Amino acid sequence: MNRDTHRVRYERLLKKLRKARDEAGLTQAQVAKALGRPQSFTSKIESGERRLDFVELQELASLYGKPLTYFEDADE
C-alpha cells in the first residue's frame, strides 16, 4: 500500500469519527471528558494531527455506540 492510499483511507476514518461523534450528539469537549483526556485530544485526532491507536478507537466506538466495523475502510 502506498502513502497516498494510506492517507486517503485514514482521512475516511477521520470523517467517520467526526460523523459518529455528531450522530452521538457529543461535542469534542464531552468526548474528551468522558475519556478523561483534554479537549485537544479529540480535536487533534479528528484533524489528523494525532494518530489514533486501536485501543483509543475501541473506546471511541463504544462511546459513540458504534461497532468497530463502522470504522472499516469502505468507499463512501
Residue 70's identity, in one-letter code, is Y
Which residues make Cβ contacts (< 8 Å) with residue 16, sequence separation at least 6? 70, 71
Which residue ranges make up each domain of the chain?
Answer: 3-66
User: Which CATH homologous superfamily contains domain 3-66?
Assistant: lambda repressor-like DNA-binding domains (1.10.260.40)
Three-state secondary structure call for residue 38: coil
Residue 75: other Cβ atoms inside 10 A: 5
Q: What is the CA radius of gyration of the chain?
A: 12
pLDDT, tens digit, 9 for 90 and up, residues 22-72: 999 999 999 999 999 999 999 999 999 999 999 999 999 999 999 999 998
Three-state secondary structure call for residue 37: coil
This prediction has a pTM of 0.87
